[in-house]
Amino acid sequence: MWRIAAPMILSNISIPLVGITDTVITGHLENPEYIASIAVATTIIGFFIASMNFLRMGTTGITAQYIGSKNLNGLRVILGQTLLVALLISFLVLLLQSDINKVGLMLIGSNESVAYYASQYFYIRIWGIPATLINFSLIGWFIGLQNASVPLKMVIATNITNIILSLTFVLVFNMQINGIALASVIAEIIGMLIGFKYIKKELVKYPGEWLYKNIFRLSAYKRFIKINTNIFIRTIALIFTFAFITAQGARYGGIILGANALLMNLQNLLAYILDGFAHAAEALVGKAVGKRDNQLFKAAVKICLKWSVYIAIIFTLIYALTGKYMISLMTHHQIIRDTAIEYLPWMIISPIVSVWSFLYDGVFVGATRSKDMRNAMLGSLFLVFLPSWYFLQPLGNHGLWLTFTLFMISRGVTMHFLYRKIDLTRD
């Protein structure tokens, strides 16, 4: 488990550090609206990027099952299919970028000044989408092969490049948020090139044939589309909740929006670390499903869950003891600091609340039970998140964070009961 989880944790931890670094840079610029602007822009772009995460998740599960069933030709087909889909989606996003930005700004409802700076960031950052989606495909494929070292190299290189270039463009060339956006584009391309470098080397370990007709034949995408459509719907629902939180924060004003952005950086840091164990679960569970080995399946879930809970407890302690200091590092604007600290208790309990949904996401991805993932997410959204917010609005931003907490609890509980029904001998 640790052979997969450890490299993924190391790579994942660098991802929120980029967000934190960007926040620190913008938080120390003269205009406090830069923080809110990046929060708005990244929400718009992040909606599309995160909604395309099925390119990684679906690829991991299918690839791992091909390994378990020793379908070596299938390893090549799924790689070709997911890369082709990534390119087609990227073309559509770039074609519609102006409409995407306009609709996003309208839905979030930010003020004119924030919208202006957010658009500056958006129209540069959007050109990194093709590399981003291709990286999703490559990382998912490598994880499915139980090779976490290549994703580690890709993600670390991407994020180190991003941090260095962001600092250079802003501090040396005075490009402000435009520099931060350009740094992200270049960094994603670097990560993509590293991923392509290792494909041939990996395929040598798994001799097989490139069945090009299956890559380009529409009927060959039946399983791919079925699995990933459900993951796509699930992901859209998840991103909707985060976009909703951002939009509601915007309605409370720029200070609340900025404070919530700082807290979400802490949530993202937690998420990416716990995702390391989820990635391990994806690969191990997928292999067990490919072998139809129920005992191996249960053992994989047990070990990944145990260590996920340990890490969650540690993060609760870290946020309780150092949360105020971490917030202070991200901005020198005292009013945003004080506001974020007021809502910090919600982030302190978040690790224990969130750990279950992160781990079970990995389990269901590996088992390619995307329908169950979809149903758990939609149920939590429509039966818990939205009704809770309706009744908790009088509590203001505290009500917003309580709504988010109840949503994460619902996801974990629902997926736990669905997991208990899995029996590989019958499926």
Q: Please give the structure tokens belonging to residue 243.
A: 């976009």
Q: Which residue has the tokens 């950086």?
A: 265
Phi, psi of 379 (to 5 degrees): -60, -45
Q: Please give the structure tokens belonging to residue 10.
A: 């190391």
- Where exactly are the structural domains of the chain? 2-419
B/e letters for 150-170, b = 16+ CB within 10 Å, e = fewer, are bbbbbbbbbbebbbebbbebb
Residue type, 367: A
Residue type, 415: M
Rg (CA), the chain: 21
Choose between 35 and 146: higher pLDDT: 146
Q: Tens digits of per-residue pLDDT, 215-229?
A: 777 776 777 788 888
Q: Please give the structure tokens belonging to residue 44.
A: 């718009």
Phi, psi of 174 (to 5 degrees): 55, 40
pLDDT-wise least confident of 29-33, 111-115, 409-413? 29-33
Q: Tens digits of per-residue pLDDT, 41-76?
A: 877 887 777 778 788 888 888 888 888 777 778 788
On whether the CB atoms of residues 129 and 65 are closer than 8 A, the answer is: no
Phi, psi of 253 (to 5 degrees): 115, 165
Element spanning 73, H or E: helix 72-95
Gap between the Cα atoms of 99 and 31, Å rounded:
27
The whole-model pTM stands at 0.74
Q: Which residue has the tokens 């670094």?
A: 21
Gap between the Cα atoms of 13 and 426, Å rounded:
38
Nearest to 63 by CA among 43, 80, 86: 80
pLDDT > 60? residue 17: no
- Interval 194-214 mean pLDDT: 84
On whether the CB atoms of residues 110 and 118 are closer than 8 A, the answer is: yes
Q: Tens digits of per-residue pLDDT, 256-310?
A: 888 888 898 888 888 878 888 887 888 788 888 877 878 888 888 888 889 999 9
pLDDT of residue 253: 80
pLDDT > 80? residue 198: yes
pLDDT of residue 245: 86
On whether the CB atoms of residues 63 and 245 are closer than 8 A, the answer is: no
Q: How far is CA 397 from CA 253, 338, 411, in A?
A: 11, 14, 21
294-330 and 334-342 helices, crossing angle to 10°: 140
The H-assigned helical ranges of 292-393 are 294-330, 334-342, 344-366, 370-380, 386-392
Q: Please give the structure tokens belonging to residue 355.
A: 């750990």
B/e letters for 202-221, b = 16+ CB within 10 Å, e = fewer, are ebeebeeeeeeebbeeeebb
Q: Please give the structure tokens belonging to residue 17.
A: 């550090």
Q: Please give the structure tokens belonging to residue 319.
A: 């946020």
With a pLDDT cut of 70, the percent of the chain lying above it is 91
112-125 and 33-51 helices, crossing angle to 10°: 50
- Interval 378-390 mean pLDDT: 95
pLDDT > 80? residue 421: yes
Gap between the Cα atoms of 85 and 93, Å rounded:
12
With a pLDDT cut of 90, the percent of the chain lying above it is 30
pLDDT of residue 15: 54
Phi, psi of 8 (to 5 degrees): -70, -35
Q: Would residue 207 be called left, alpha or beta, if left means φ above 0 and alpha means ψ between -120 and 50 degrees?
A: beta
